[in-house]
Structure formats: structure tokens, C-alpha cells
Structure 1
Amino acid sequence: MFKNFFKVAFRNLLKRKGFTIINISGLAIGMASAILILLWVQNEVSRDRFHEKGDRIYRAYNKSIFDNKLQCWSTTPKILAPTIQKDYPEVEEVTRVHWGANLLFSLGDKRLNVRGTMVDSGFLHMFSLPLVKGNPDKALSNTYSIIVTEKLAKKLFSDEDPMNKVVKIDNRDNFTVTAVMKDLPNNTMFDFEYLLPWSYMKARDWDDDNWDNNSTMTFVMLKQNASITAFNNKIKNITYDHLKGREKIEVFMYPLEDQYLYNRFENGKPAGGRITTIRVFTTIAMLILLIACINFMNLSTARSEKRAKEVGIRKVVGAMKSSLITQFLGESVLIALIAAVIAIVLVQLALPSYNLLVKKNLRLEFGNPYFWLAGLGFVLFTGLIAGSYPAFFLSSFRPVAVLKGTFRKVSALITPRKVLVVAQFTFAIALIICTIIIQHQINYAQQRETGYDRTNLAYVFLCGDMEKNMQLIKNDLISQGIATNISKTSAPITESWSDSWGFEWPGKDPNDKTDFYRFCSDGNLVKTTGMKIIQGRDIDLINYPTDSTALVLNESAVKAMNLKNPIGTPIKDNGIDWHVVGVVQDFILQNPYEPMRPMVVEGPKGWFNVVHIKFNEANGMQKNIAETEKIFKRYNPEYPFEYKFVNEEYAQKFADEETTATLARLFSALTIFISCLGLFGLATYMAENRIKEIGVRKVLGASVANITALLSRDFLRLVIVAIVIATPIAWWAMHNWLQHYTYRVPISWFTFIVAGVLAIVIALATVSYQAIKAAVANPVKSLRTE
């Protein structure tokens, strides 16, 4: 029985090689596309969901009312974690996680700037980030102990055992390696190559007990069976109570497993986030696979007449309808299996480039039995979906009508095949429209005026002896013509590292809780970055000795403070009395998709982490960098010279949207290709079926253009119907997507026209080849048997 099944199946595949190739190619490309998307989706949805105790781990959030809106944020006071552990018995473990730092590692002649973080010892008991060597109970018990990842251990010690080895950090403290951690998976929020104990924060005077200072991440693990609802009710006023009622801030615990997928809050409640993009691409994967299956259905039913006599004879000799359905479904599963093998090869070939695109390390887990189980289910699902309609359609033929030769396809206005073609192109056209609008949104934000000049602007993080030798470094860079201006700042010009709602100014409403970005500069920020002064001047300690407490506002800050004459206005922050010396045009500090926010730039009495350098454009950039490195090496010899260009860092603000747009373009192209593959097959089959009609028409004087139009007309109508259906669907989808951006592009009807014309051109190009081929054929050959 099985031998006969395979014999019949392979005979039918080989009998019509062209259609078999189209069927298998369409399914293989569709399956490969779906696999690539689902690999990315699986990586995204598993982010920090692999921790054994993840269902009991929560991240601390704050919420309070700002600008008449209830807002949530995930930075907390450093004192929160130890207070929770001491005062709440339902808590099993807590840990603080510092935002991370690049510290200098010195070992012999090696000098490495390595990114790591400081944590409490509870970190190792909460998260499933296993140690390869070392005891998790003791690994962080000493202030000068360090845990390194396998990757860092290899960099520092090559193939030697790293345990109990000593490495110097920041050119000042010796640390002993007490554990080696397995390299982090690529589906976690954490990004470090070493862990230091939180007690080192205290040793460096980086810790504080200030309940006003929200500056770290806090994670809490509750005991088994502890109620998160009850715990949140108990803990919500912890900050409010310790601040003696000065600030109405509520604390709540948010599940670790939800914080990546549902990271957007509206009015204090989770309102989606990354999960939206994941759902969109999951839908795209399913629809691409469905389109490939539709190709199979259409081509199989189009060839129904070729197999009608086979079905009739089988029924006459006693074949049951169920056995015919099984035969046809089996054939489609066999085709799906062949397509799946090809798809896996395509995926393996595409993965290196795909990983670069999505910035992940995705791979097919051939050694995992669940991979093969999922693969088998995937093949069966695809085969059954693709073969379902053809199987029931073919098995329903009446043997008497078929064998008498009276079997005919009914020409109807609406047929299942037409519906399937329309469905294919509806999705393809909707995807084209969405891709165009996504790209327009990115371009719209990228072209937005930043408020400063990014060209030839770079920054370096302050480290080692750089701070004390800053004036010498500055003098050398400017005197040698390498740089035109230099300014120390608290953060890169592309980022916000500090904000506050505690500023005080004359006439401030006591109930005002406007949140301001806080930035610091030692002077020359305007000249270095190319900002535009609206009123007053820049901070300048050389010409104005009192500028140590000078302050510059942006336009939005002047409006928020309602200052009519801002110059000279006293403003208090962190116990320091500042005075306004200038107002600058609003500039983008953080998110280019959001409105400008009020901002203050505090003077030399602030704190500094970064040096911005405006390079001399008269020199080549390669020469500028080489000469700058020499100067920094002269005054800061122990540290490697590392720099970042502002325009490159600014471009990173669009990275997620660019990845989304690129994926949309890629899978739009594949969707169109698969749809056209099916259309090409149908056009080929229709041309073959009407070859005698075409011959007669040519003999009676029909031109090539007439015949081409005749064969293309039906397909063109279907594409136009698809355009009409796809347009409102795409508009609705993009309208909802754009609502996530305050600064957004308007949806232009021109986009829909372009997409529609593009779809028509592609469809006509696909169909016309076969139409023209049939139209120019010699009618004598087609009519010879008559």
C-alpha cells in the first residue's frame, strides 16, 4: 500500500516537472521565511524567561504624577533593596544592579576596557546564569572579589585556570577571581563580562542612602506562595514614608518575565510594548506560509482536469472518498517534506547575514529533540493546510461525469481560486504599503532638526589621569590645530543620564512637578556642539569667574518655568544656587520621536563623565584621530584611547526601527516573489489550457496585443480587487502603529497609489511573459490535431 502511494505520488511529481518545481520552490521559500521570523520571535519572547525562579522575580518600579499624567519608571534609590530585605519577611532575595561601567583591567602588559556591573550577592541565587567554576554563596563575599565570564577569562588568562588569579582594576585596586560564569545568552537584558560585589560601590564612594536619588535597578524575589498583590499593597508607600511625605511616589513590583515584552505604560498601567512588534512579525510569518500554501492550492486545483480521470477510475474500481483524500493529503505532505529540507538548507545559508541584520546569534538547534518534534509538526501543518482544499476538491469529482468527458470547470464570478489569489495579493500589497510608511516615519525622524551640529564631533569617557590633565590635553589639541573646541559634560550629547523635578525658581507653583533633563558643562558647550544661543551667552568660566554656578536653559525649560526674562534668574538644585546666563534652542537629547523636553545645563560646579571634541574639518579625520590618540596616551598612558562619533551614536536611536523596516522590506519582497511564483504558474497553466482558443483567435486576425490583454485581464482584475481590500487594512494598521510616536509622519494617499501601481506592474510583468509567449506561438501547431 505504502509502496503504491509513493509510486503514484512521485509519478505525479515527475509528470509535470515545471509545476512541481514552482510548488516546491514556493513552499520552500515560504517555509524558510517563516522559520527565520519564528527564530527571531522565539528569541524575543524567551528574553529573561529562562530563569528557573523567574515566576517569583520582580523588578521595582516607581510611579507618580508628572505633567498631569501618571508615569512609571524603573530606576530606584540604592537604599531600597536593603530596606526591603530587612523589613519584609515575604522577600527571599534582593539585588541591586548598577547600570554598568567600563573599567580598565590590567594584567601584565594587557590593558583592556571591559564592561561590567556591581551587584548584591543575591543576584547569583535569583538568576539562572550558572557559574562554571566557583561557589555562588562565597563568590561575592569579599569587596575585592570578582566574577568573570568565560569570554573575559579567555581574554585575560588564555588557557590558564583563572581561579584565584589577581587582576588590577582602574589602575588602583587588585581583585581576586573567585568564580567563572558561563557566557551570557543573547536573550537576556544583562550585558556584562564581569561582576563586582556591591560593597565595592561603597569602597569607591558610589553608594548612597538618599531616597531622592533614583539611580539603580532593584530586583526582588519573593518566597514561594507569597502574594504579589499583597506585597505591592504593603510596599507601595515605602519611598513616600521615608521621604516624610515630601514626594508622592508609589513603588510597585513588575514581573521580570513581562518587563521586556510589555515595557510601555500608559496612565500607570502596562499598555503593550515590544509584544506589538512580535505579534506583527508572527502574523507575517503565518501569512507568508499561508501564501505559499495558497500557491499549492491554486496550482493543484488548476490541474484538476489532468487528474479528473484518475479520480474517476479510482472511484469506479472501489476507492472510497476517504482514501482519495488521504492520497492527496499524503502527496502534499510529501511535497512539504521535500520543501522543508530545502528550506532548512536556505535558512542555514541565510543565518549569518540574517544574524547581522537582527543583531542576534540565532541558530537551528539540530541537537535538540524538540527541534525535530517542532519541525515534524511544522511540516505536517504546512502539508495539511496546503493540501486540504485540493484533496477535498479532487476527491469530490463524480466518476460518471468525468469518464463521459462532460466534466468542466464552472466559470463563475467568484471561485475559490480567485478568492485565494486576491488573498495573496491583499497581504502582499498591505505589506508593501506598511513598509513604505515605516520607512517614511524613520526618514521623517532622521531629518528632524537636532539643534546641534553632529559633524566632526566625537566624545571620550573620562578615565584615569584624564581629569587632572584635562587642561593640558585641551591646550595641545587646540594649539596643534587638531580640534577647534572641547567641552567636558556629564553625559554624551546623545543621552540623558540625569533628570529631576526638584528645581526651584521664583514664582514656581508648589504643586508643579515638571521633570527636567539635567546636563552639566564646564563651558564652551555651544561652540563645541554648534548649538544656537537664543538669549544671553554660553557658560564661560575664563571670562566670567562666577560662572561656576552658571546655568543655561533650553526654550522648553523657559516655557515650563514661565520666565519672561530668564537671564539672571536664580534656580536652586541639589542645594546649589545657580543663575541663568543663557537660553539655547531646543535640541534632541534623548528620543527623536518625542517632543522636546525642558532641560537645564549646569555649569562647572556640576559633575563630569565625558569630553566632547570638535575636530578641525581642515584635517583628514584619520589624521585627527591618530594625533588625538598620541596626546591622550601622553597624559593618560595606562588607558587605551577609545572614542565615539556623535553622528554614529545618534544613528543608533533609529536602530530598532531600521531593523523593523529592513525585515519588512525583506519579507515584503519574499511575499511578492512567492505570490508572483504562484501567479506565474497559474498563467502558464491557463495559457496551456487556452492554447487552441489562442490559435483560432490568431487565425481570425487577433493581434499579439489583443491576446496578451485577453490573458492578462482576469489576473489584473483580481489584483485591483486586492488593492481595494488592502488599502484600508494597511491604513488602519499603520495609523495604530504611528500612535506610539508623538513625532510622526502623516499618512499620505500617494503611498497607496505607489503601492497599487507597483503591485499592478509586478503582476502584469509576471503574467505578460506567459501571455506574450502564448500569443506569439505558431497557431498551426496548436490547431494541427483539429
Structure 2
Amino acid sequence: MIRNYLKIALRNLLKNKGFSFINVIGLSVGMASAILILLWIKHEIDYDQFHEKKDRIFEAWNKDTFSGELHCWNTTPKIFARTVERDFPEIEQATRVSWPRQYLFSIGEKRLTVQGNFVDSNFLNMFSFPLLKGDPDLVLKDMFNIVLTEKCAKNLFGNEEPMGKTIRINDKDNFTVTGILKDLPNNTRFKFDYILPWAYARKQGDDDESWGNNSTRNYVLLKPNASLASLEPKLRYIKRKYDKDEKTNEMFLYPISRWRLYSRFENGKEDGGLIDFVKMFAVIAAFILLIACINFMNLSTARSEKRAKEVGIRKVVGANKASLIGQFLGESILIAFLAGLVALLIVQLSLPAFGKLTDKILFIDYGNIYFWLLFIGFIIFTGVIAGSYPAFYLSAFKPVKVLKGTFLKSNRVVTPRKVLVVLQFTFAIILIICTTIVKEQIQHARNRDTGYDKENLVFHSLTGDLRKNFPLLKNELLASGVASAVVKTSSPITQGWSDSWGFEWEGKAVDDKTDFDRFCAEDDLGKTIGLQFVQGRDFNLKEFPTDSSGMILNESAVKAMGFKDPIGKIVKDGDKPYHVVGVIKDFILQSPFQPMKPMVIEGANGYFNIIHMKLNNRNATADNLKRAEAIFKKYNPQYPFEYKFVDEDYASKFKSEQRTGTLAALFSGLTIFISCLGLFGLAAYMAESRIKEIGVRKVLGASVTGITTLLSKDFVSLVVIAFVAASPVAWWFMHNWLQSYPYRVTIEWWIFAFAAILSILIALITVSYHAIRAATANPVKSLRTE
């Protein structure tokens, strides 16, 4: 029997090549889309889940109230790790990981800038980053040990044995390579090419014991039988215990399983995060696969008349309903199997581009038996879902009605096929609306006034001899005409590297914990960056030597401090008093989607890491950069000239939202494509079932336009119904999504009008082929079938 069913299935596939091709393509595109999304979801869920001790690893977090709201953040004091190891027996060990540091590595004549971290010596015992060479207990024991990743070691030493070799860092200290790490996986929060012992950070003065300096990340490993529930109440007030000035801060431990997906907090409580996008794309994957299955259903039932007599004869000769259902499900599983093979090919061809789009390294492990078991299960599941309705629909035909030719009822107002098409286009229209709103939100933020001039603005790290040679460098850049203005700052103008709620000023409330962005700059800040002063002036050490302790406030800071006349006011940063010399308009330092924070800009007494240059717009940019490189090399010969354009760095702030919008647009397009196949199938069914009616109408004088309109209006009405169903769902979803952006676009009526017109046009274009073909057919041929 199975052999007979297989023969019939193959004959049907080969006999109806066009029908089979559409079915296979529709299912394969849907299956490929679902597989790609599931690969991305798996990659996100697996973030940092490869560590052997993951169930016992936690990150230390702070919790405190600022401006009436409870905030949580994961930078903590450097002293935390050693303190909790000593104070709490439940903790087996703790380690610190610094912010990334970029250093110049020298091996003979070879010089490379490499990025890595300071870590405690127990880091590789806590986290499972495999060492290819070296002992994890010993590789970071000495202050001048260094561990490299495999890729970094190859870049530095080529094919030579790196173990035991010497690397000179920043032309200052020599380090011995004591370990080689396997290259880090793509799905970990840690990104480094080397790790150095924390002892060296201490030697450089980068360590401190201040409980008020939240400047690093601390991780703890609980003992195997330790209870987090019993530990957290004791750990909660540790900062208050050691910092007598701290009255409201709390600390807690956050598990590794939630770092990636759930680390967004709202008013002190976990409020989702990336998990929202994971869930959203999981729903998209399910719906795309469902839409592909719906296509199969529509195309199968559209050809029901040609299979009806086969069903009737089988029933007359004794076939029962269960055997017919099995036959049709078997056919759908066969088609799903063929579609699955095509889908795998599509996925394999698409993975590089999809990985680049999502900024992930995605792959399929074909050597894993579990993959093939899941894939076979996926094919069977898809085949059963796709074939379920046709199987039950076709097997339910009554032999008497079938053989008399009276079983079709195409004139019903509501049919399962129409419901399925409405469902398809409902989801497609939801995606069209959502994609449009995402694009509008991105453009809305792009159009926001940054508060400074990004054009021809370049920044470069203050490396090596640039610190001591900065005055000479600045003078030559200006004198040569390469730059029209140069300024030294604490961070790039696009990034906030420091903030504090510890500023003091006259009239400050005792419980005021307003958080300020902290920035530092020397002379010509306004001229170089293009800031807009509303009161006072820029720093000018030549005319006003006391500007070394000067301060510039933004308008939000003036408001937060309650100053009516801010110029000359004293603001203290710890034990350093600063006097206000100017007030600038707010500018975007960090996210263009968030409101601008209060900000203080400290003068020459601050700290500096970056040089900003306003390139001379009278010269070609390439010429400016070439001449600037020669000047930088003159005053900093050991370091490469590595610059970034501010406008490019600012544009990177939109990457996450752009990625979401692009993915939504991609899957929206695929959903529309698959839905159009469904409409195509329904149009074929309609034309086939009404062929005699069309013939009679033509004989009685109906025009081609009239018949085409008659056939098309049914499809337009289905799309209109889908639009009515989709609009409130899309509005609700995007309204909630936009709430996470304080600076956001409003949802305009034209977005819904655009989605409605676009979907109707797509539907008309899709069904026009069958509508026009039926309207232009020779009525003699259609009526001859009587």
C-alpha cells in the first residue's frame, strides 16, 4: 500500500509540474526563513552558556535611586571582589574584568595596536575559555605574564612558537607569553585579544579601594552547595558597611543565564531586554512557516476537483477515510521533504549574508546527529501541518456528489480558504506597518539636532608621546593648514566614558542624587566641536589661566542645579572646586533615542584620552589625512595613525535599530512573497470553479474589463478585511515598542494608508494573471465541458 501511495504521489508531482513547483518553492522559502531565524535565536540563547560553571557564576550589580527613579547598573567598585571573597564563605572566588584597553605591542620591528582586558589571575578558572597552551592556574600569576588568543598570537608571531616569547607594551614594559587561548566564540560578552594580570593594572595606578568608584565589572563564583537566597540579604548592604557616606545603595548578584536576554531594568525591576526581540522573531518564524503551509493548503484544495473523482472511486471500491488521510498526508510530507532539501540549500547560500546582517557567525553543524533528528522532525511537522486541511477536506468528499459533479460550493461567503488568505495578509500587513514605523523611528532620531557639527571632525586616541607632545602637535596641525581647530578631551564627543552623582554646589539638596555626564576638555572645545554657547565663553588658558579649574555646563545641568545666573558659580567634583565659565546648549553625547542628560565639562585639571581635529574644509579630506599622519608620526613615531570620523561613529549608534528594521523588512518581503503564492493559488481555484459562469457572461456580452473586475474584487475584499484586522494589532505592538524610546516618532495615519494601498496593489498584481486569462478565454472551450 505504501509503495502504491508513493507511486501516486510521485505521478501527481510530475504530472502537475507547475503546481508542484509552486508548492515546493513556497514551502522551501518558508522553511528556510524559519531555519534562519531559529539559528539566530539559538545563537542568542546560547550566549555565555558554554561555561562549565555557568550555574554558579553571577555578576555584581548596583541598585540606587536617582531623580526619584530606582536604577540598576553593572559597574561596581574594584575593591568588591577581594572583599566578598573574605567576608562571605558562600563565595568560592571572585574576579574583576576591566574595560577594554588598547595597547601598542612591539616584537622586534613589528608594531600592532591590540585590544584586551586586565583580569584577576583566577579568571580562567572561573570562565571556560579553553587554553591551547599553558596552565590556567599559572598563566597570570606573575605581573608581567600575558595570555594571547590564537588569532592574536598568529598576527604577532606568524608560524613561530609564541610560548615564552617577549612582547613589549607601549614601549615601556616587557611581558612573557605564558598562555594561548582558543579564539573566543562569537556568542560571548567578552571580547579581547589578550588578557593581562590585574597586578599590572595596580602597578599603573589603575586600581583603588574606593567604594564610590563604580568603574569595573565584578564576577563571583558560588560554592557548589551555596544558596543565593541566603547570601543576597547579607550582601545587599555591603557598600553601606564600608562607605559610611552611602545611605541608599544596594547590591545584588545577577545570574549568567540572564545577562544577554533579560538585563534591562525599569525602576529597579527586571523588564525584559533582548528577549523581547527573540520572542518577536520566534513569532515571525512561526507565522512565516504557517503562511507557507497555508499556501500548500490553498494550492491543494484549489485543485480539489481534479482529485475528487479519484477520491470518489477509491471510496466506492472500499477505501476508508483514514487510509485516504494517510495517503494525502504522505504526499504532503514528501513535498515537505523536497522543500526541506531546497530550504537547506537556500539557508547555506544565505548564511554569510544573513550572518553579516545580524552581525553573528551562524552555521549549521551537519556532523551533529541531533541536527538531523531535529531537521527530520521539522520536515514531518511541516508536512503534517501543511497537509492536514487538504487531507481532511479531500477525504470528506461524498462519492455520490463527487461522481455527479455537484460537490463544489465556491459561492459561499466564508470558506476556509478565504479565512486562510485573510490570515496570511493580516500578518503581512502587520509586518509592513511595523517595518515602516521602525524606519520612521530611525529617521526621526537621525534628523535630531546633535548640538554640534560632525562635518570633517576626526578623533584620535592620545597614545604614547602624544601626551607630552600635544602642544607641539596642535601648533603644527594648525600652522600647516591641516586642521582649523584642535582640542584635547576625555572621550570622543560621541561617547560618554564617565558620569557621577557626587558633584556639590551651593543650594544642593541633601538627598539630591542627580546623575551628570562628566566630560573634560582644554582650549578651543567650542570651536573644534561646534558647540553653541548661550552664556559665558569657551575655555581660554592664554587669557584666563584659571580656566584650568573652569567648568562649562549644559542647559540641563543649569536647570538641575537650579542656577539662575550660573557664571562664576562653584561646583565641586570631590575635593576639586571648579568655577563655571560658560553654558552651552544640550548636545547628544550618547544615545540619540534618549533625552539629553545634565552634563559638566571640566577644564585642564581633568583627565584626557582623545584628540579631536576639525579638518580644514578647503583641502581634500584625503590630503588632510595624509599630512596629519606625517605630523602624528613626527611626534609619536612608535604608534600607528588610527583615526575615526565623528559622523561615522555617530552613525554606528543606529546599528541595532537599523538591524531590526532591515530584518523586519526582509521577513516582511518574504511573507508578502509567500502570501502572493497563496493568492495565486486561490485565484487559480476561483477561475477554475467559475469557468462556465465566465463563459456564459462572455456569450451574453460581458467585457474583459468587467469580468476581470468581477474576479478581482473578491480578492480586494479579502485584503481589506485583513487590513482591518491587522491595523489595531500593529498599532498596539508598535505603540508598546516605542515606549522604550523617550525620543520617539508618533504613529501617523499615513502609515496605515500606505500599508493598505501597497497590500491592495500587490494583491491585484498577483491575481491579475488568472483574472485576465479567465476573462480572455474562448467561451466556446469553457462551455464545451458541459
Q: Deviations over 1:172-208 (max 9, x none)?
A: 1111111111111111101101011111101111111
Partner of 1:391: 391
> Is 2:594 the counterpart of 1:594?
yes
Distance 1:286 1:189 in 2: 28
Write the deviation string for residues 752-776 of structure 1: whole angstroms up to 9, x where unpaired: 0110111001101111122112212
Cα displacement string for residues 724-755 of structure 1 (whole angstroms, at most 9, x for unaligned residues): 00000000000010011111101111110110
Rounded to whole Å, the distance in 2 between the matches of 1:775 and 1:314 is 35
Matched, 1:621 2:643: no
Residue aligning to 2:318: 318
Looking at structure 1, the residues matched to 11 and 632 of structure 2 have their Cα atoms a distance apart, in angstroms, of 75
1:404 and 1:668 map into 2 onto residues whose CA distance is 44
Instruction: Flag structure 2 segments of 5+ consecutive residues without an equivalent.
Output: none
- CA distance in 2 between counterparts of 1:681 and 1:98 reads 60
The answer on 1:573 being equivalent to 2:566 is no
Moved more, 657-666 or 226-235: 226-235
Q: CA deviation at 1:165?
A: 1.2
- 3-state SS in 2 of match to 1:469: helix
In 1, Cα distance between the equivalents of 2:118 and 2:563? 42
Alignment correspondent of 1:684: 684
1:426-460 residue CA offsets vs partner (Å, 9 max, x unmatched): 00001000000011011111111110011100100
TM-score, with normalisation over the residues of structure 1? Answer: 0.99
SS at match of 1:129: coil
* Counterpart for residue 750 of structure 1: 750
CA shift, 1:407, in A, is: 2.2
Contact 2:302 2:681 in 1 (8 A): no
Match of 2:281 in 1: 281
Please tell me whether residue 137 in structure 1 is matched to residue 150 in structure 2.
no
Per-residue displacement from partner, 1:360-410 (whole Å, max 9, x unpaired)? 111121122221111111111111111111111111122232233332236
Could you tell me which residue of structure 1 aligns to residue 674 of structure 2? 674
2-side partners of 1:487 and 1:230: how far apart? Answer: 52
Q: Name 2:497's counterpart in structure 1.
A: 497
Matches within 5 A, 1:211-222: 211-222=211-222
Letter in 2 for 1:442: I
SS at match of 1:586: coil
Distance 2:269 2:620 in 1: 52
- Output one character per residue of 1:657-686: Cα deviation in whole Å (capped at 9) or x when no partner: 000000011110110010001111221232
Query: Residue by residue, what CA displacement relative to the aligned partner does 1:30-78 show, whole Å, maximum 9, x if unpaired?
Result: 1111111111111111111221211111110001110011111110010
- Counterparts of 1:494 and 1:230 in 2: how far apart (Å)? 43
Matches within 5 A, 1:126-525: 126-409=126-409, 411-525=411-525
1:558 alignment counterpart? 558
Q: 1:694-716 CA distances to partner (integer Å, 9 max, x unpaired)?
A: 22222211111101011111111
**2:626 alignment partner, SS class:** helix
Distance in 2 (CA, whole Å) between partners of 1:514 and 1:168 is 43
How far did residue 412 of structure 1 move?
Answer: 2.0
The secondary structure found in structure 2 opposite 1:31 is: helix
Q: Note the C-alpha offset of 1:777.
A: 2.5
Q: What amino acid maps onto 1:184 in structure 2?
A: L
CA contact (8 A) 2:239 2:246 kept: no
Residues 193-230 of structure 1: CA deviation (Å, up to 9, x unaligned): 10111111011111111111100000011011211121
Identity of aligned residues (%): 60
Q: Is contact 2:302-2:684 (8 Å) kept?
A: no
CA distance in 1 between counterparts of 2:105 and 2:735 reads: 50
Aligned to 2:100: 100
SS at match of 2:773: helix
Answer yes or no: is the 8 Å Cα contact 1:587–1:596 preserved in 2.
yes
2:45 partner amino acid: V
Query: Which one is further off, 43-52 or 435-444?
Result: 43-52
Q: Cα deviation per residue 1:93-128 (whole Å; 9 max; x = unaligned)?
A: 211000111111111221111110011122111112
Instruction: Tell me how far apart the structure 2 counterparts of residues 344 and 244 of structure 1 sit (CA, whole Å).
Output: 62
Q: Which sits farther off after the overlay, 388-397 or 650-659?
A: 388-397
| Counterpart-to-counterpart distance in 1, 2:42 and 2:69 | 35
Q: Which residue identity is paired with 2:457?
A: L
Contact kept? 2:549, 2:603, Cα under 8 Å: yes
| Paired residue type of 2:588 | I
Mean Cα displacement is larger for which, 198-207 or 238-247?
238-247
| 1:22–1:678 CA contact under 8 A, matched in 2 | no
**Post-superposition offset of 1:473:** 0.9
Q: What amino acid maps onto 2:209 in structure 1?
A: D
Is 1:89 the equivalent of 2:97? no
Whole-Å Cα distance in 2 between the matches of residues 189 and 350 of structure 1? 26
- Report Cα offsets for 1:586-618 as digits up to 9, x if no partner: 001111111111000000000001111110111
Structure 1 position 785, deviation (Å) = 4.7
Distance 1:135 1:403 in 2: 81
For 1:392 and 1:777, the matched residues in 2 are separated by: 33
Q: Quick check: 2:100–2:115 contact (8 Å CA) kept in 1? A: yes
Instruction: Give aligned pairs, total.
Output: 786
The match for 1:729 is 729
Find the aligned partners of 1:273 and 1:631 in 2 and give their Cα distance: 46
Task: Determine helix, strand or coil for the equivalent of 1:459.
Answer: strand
User: In the aligned structure 2, how far is the partner of 1:180 from the partner of 1:726?
Assistant: 55
Whole-angstrom CA distance in 1 between matches of 2:480 and 2:544: 26
Q: Which stretch has the larger CA shift, 533-542 or 765-774?
A: 765-774
Gaps of 5+ in 1: none
Q: Match of 1:474, as an amino acid?
A: K
Report what 1:47 is aligned to: 47
Q: Which moved more, 1:120-129 or 1:638-647?
A: 120-129
